[in-house]
Amino acid sequence: MDQVATLQLESVDLQSSRNNREHHTQEMGVKRLTVRRGQLFYLRLSFSRPFQSQSDHITFVAETGPKPSELLGTRATFFLTRVRPGNVWSASDFTIDSNSLHVSLFTPANAVIGHYILKIEISQGQGHSVTYPLGTFILLFNPWSPEDDVYLPSEILLQEYVMQDYGFVYKGHERFITSWPWNYGQFEEDIIDICFEILNKSLHYLKNPAKDCSQRNDVVYVCRVMSAMINSNDDNGVLQGNWSEDYSEGVSPLEWNGSVAILRQWSARGGQPVKYGQCWVFASVMCTVMRCLGVPTRVVSNFRSAHNVDRNLTIDTYYDRNAEMLSTQKRDKIWNFHVWNECWMIRKDLPPGYNGWQVLDPTPQQTSSGLFCCGPASVKAIREGDVHLAYDTPFVYAEVNADEVIWLLRDGQAQEILAHNTSSIGKEISTKMVGSDQHQSITSSYKYPEGSPEERAVFMKASRKMLGPQRASSPFLDLLESGGLRDEPAQLQLHLARTPEWGQDLQLLLRIRRVPDSTHPQGPIGLLVRFCAQALLHGGGPRKPLWRHTVRVNLDFGKETQRPLLLPYSNYRSKLTDEKLIRVSGIAEVEETGRSMLVLKDISLEPPHLSVEVSERAEVGKALRVHVTLTNTLMVALSSCTMVLEGSGLINGQITKDLGTLVAGHTLQIQLDLYPTKAGPRQLQVLISSNEVKEIKGYKDIFVTVAGAP
């Protein structure tokens, strides 16, 4: 009988174009094979002769990470079979076509994600085997697979939370929410490599690379590592935080348009942290990375967000009798807004009922298990006050539920409580609406309606768990259970008389109404109202007063009066912080009793408006004319103006232009051509910065058609 020639591999076709399309990774390009776990992909192997299944034995080997091991789940060996054997590595459903072998490969839905090397070992009978490299592939989480822990059973939501490569961050104030466009750019060609580079720079990897890689099958683990690595507090993480408002050694957090430039800079400089980030930058970069890895992710803004270091569920704020908000040495604070992420996953490490959206917060606020990371914390657990569940649930619970106690300070001592606000923290929690540029309130996902019996019951439940043995010595809880505070002889409200515009005088209206109270049920009262205006920092702390005013009022029982107030532009012109937020505080002293009442108004100022328009239909490879228009509505010139344009699929990297000075009241008009590189929905982000205003932002949603489409 003739000896059959040895089977030799001559070529391999990884069919990247077809596989990437079927695995929703074609946006990353088709030069490399990038697939998702728990889903078949296809290869064609070409041999020196026809494959004979009876005598030719093929073993596939897939390896990832250093020191691949079957025990650790970083190495898999599997044979060619007719039928796929379930949720395990397999090569099946093969067909023979002349000298070619078409085969379907399957990766289990709980496989380790990462860069893989794929090989085959060929042997005949009992003879020696020869190993051939087939190539490399990248394996990602698969939210399309019902077997994967990140499975999201809605194509509309998958398009939004995995495939959408742009979005918005919501900033400002709960009554005046501003939307900032952001280029996530998770499918830019090098971003997937940078994502794994980040994982490979983590302290977990540096300590034990093989063990770290073996845990990358677990989305909870990967999210937690990424949460620590986006900030640089413990490691060579991506971003260095800076809340000082001095950004001379780097880029102001206000001047980033997207994540791609940040991630590329971090990688190009060998993992040196990029300067600088604040919460919305940390969260937006985290969103890019997690969407790139295949985890459904969104960016969430919590307006008036508590940072409760001592976990007593109260944040104390102090004013003096002249209505000046006082700085405090305490680490507790109320951020004007704080931005974090939610990632979608099954929580097998928790009891049933806590799957779905999980909070992850890469901003370095406090340590968790020794590292600056936060989460994943189940949104359902936060709503139900189940603060004993992992990870960092008490911290996130306090961010949205802590109570604010406002004190009047006299001679350095807290004299009286001006207000005890049970609903001022977590006032509004917003994210981008699916399929829309608008924001959507998700406050009800985090808590029951403020003041409802369910909300207070959950608060008491969480309080007892968090305060523990201190319960008996907590005057705060006693106050809460007793129903609280005294009544007041008058009601004070501050209103804006007209929409506040940056560069204009601010007009307010004080309304006072006399109401009955226990000490003064009838008769007139005299009020001395002292006002103070201060610019607020992002962390909620105040700058020095920029305006003071005093009003004296006599008010008969049952009567109402109002007084206009004017805060001139000249008072705040050079005093604003990055936030562009002014707090006007008033303390009314009742002349008959010496008691005090507080009235507050936060005013958020918008920068000038930027218009972005395109003049024709966008097509891949064809010039697209863009028109950018800016009118300087301020009373001063904008000097050293610079424009930066960014947009995945529209621009490779960034386009930067120096624009010079824009005189007050004048309009700047710029035209330029772009050459789109990818079809589908895209977003162009435009930033104009100057010495006077760092962040004038605009955007344009653009649908790009394929080249030559009718």
Annotated active-site residue in 195, 213, 279, 292: 279
Annotated active-site residue in 23, 24, 307, 338: 338
> Has 401 been labeled as part of a binding site?
yes
Asked if omega into 133 is within 30° of 0 (cis), the reply is no
Q: Please report, as a single letter, which amino acid is at residue 480.
A: L
Annotated active-site residue in 235, 361, 386, 602: 361
The residues facing 604 across adjacent strands are 581
Question: Which of 315, 311, 541 has the alpha carbon at shortest distance from 407?
Answer: 315
Question: Which of 485, 612, 615, 648 has the alpha carbon at shortest distance from 29?
Answer: 648
Bridge pairing between strands 377-378 and 356-360: antiparallel
Measure the CA–CA gap between 242 and 248, rounded to whole angstroms: 11
* Token code pair at residue 250: 């780097």
| Chain-centre distance for alpha carbon 284 | 5
Asked about 361 being catalytic, the answer comes back as yes
DSSP string, 654-676: EEEEEEEEE-TT-EEEEEEEE--
> Has 384 been labeled as part of a binding site?
no
> Has 155 been labeled as part of a binding site?
no
Question: Residue 81 in contact with residue 39, Cβ under 8 Å?
Answer: no
What are the Cα distances from residue 56, in Å, to 92, 101, 119, 587? 15, 12, 16, 89
List all residues 6 or more positions away from 246 whose beta carbon is below 8 Å from its beta carbon. Answer: none
Measure the CA–CA gap between 576 and 243, rounded to whole angstroms: 15
The residues facing 49 across adjacent strands are none
Bridge pairing between strands 439-441 and 490-496: unpaired
List all residues 6 or more positions away from 559 whose beta carbon is below 8 Å from its beta carbon. Answer: 513, 514
> Has 56 been labeled as part of a binding site?
no
Residues in the chain: 710
Question: Residue 180 in contact with residue 167, Cβ under 8 Å?
Answer: no
3-state secondary structure of 395: helix
Measure the CA–CA gap between 647 and 227, rounded to whole angstroms: 25
Question: Residue 170 in contact with residue 301, Cβ under 8 Å?
Answer: yes
Query: What is the Rg, in whole angstroms, of the alpha carbon atoms belonging to the chain?
Result: 30
Question: Which of 430, 358, 360, 445 has the alpha carbon at shortest distance from 169?
Answer: 430
Could you tell me where the beta strands, DSSP code E, fall in 197-244?
Answer: 239-241
Question: Residue 214 in contact with residue 65, Cβ under 8 Å?
Answer: yes
Residue keyed to tokens 């328009």? 613
Question: Residue 305 in contact with residue 513, Cβ under 8 Å?
Answer: no
Question: Residue 306 in contact with residue 425, Cβ under 8 Å?
Answer: yes
Asked about 307 being catalytic, the answer comes back as no
Which residues fall in the annotated binding site? 401, 403, 450, 455
Which residues fall in the annotated binding site for Ca(2+)? 401, 403, 450, 455
Residues annotated as catalytic are 279, 338, 361
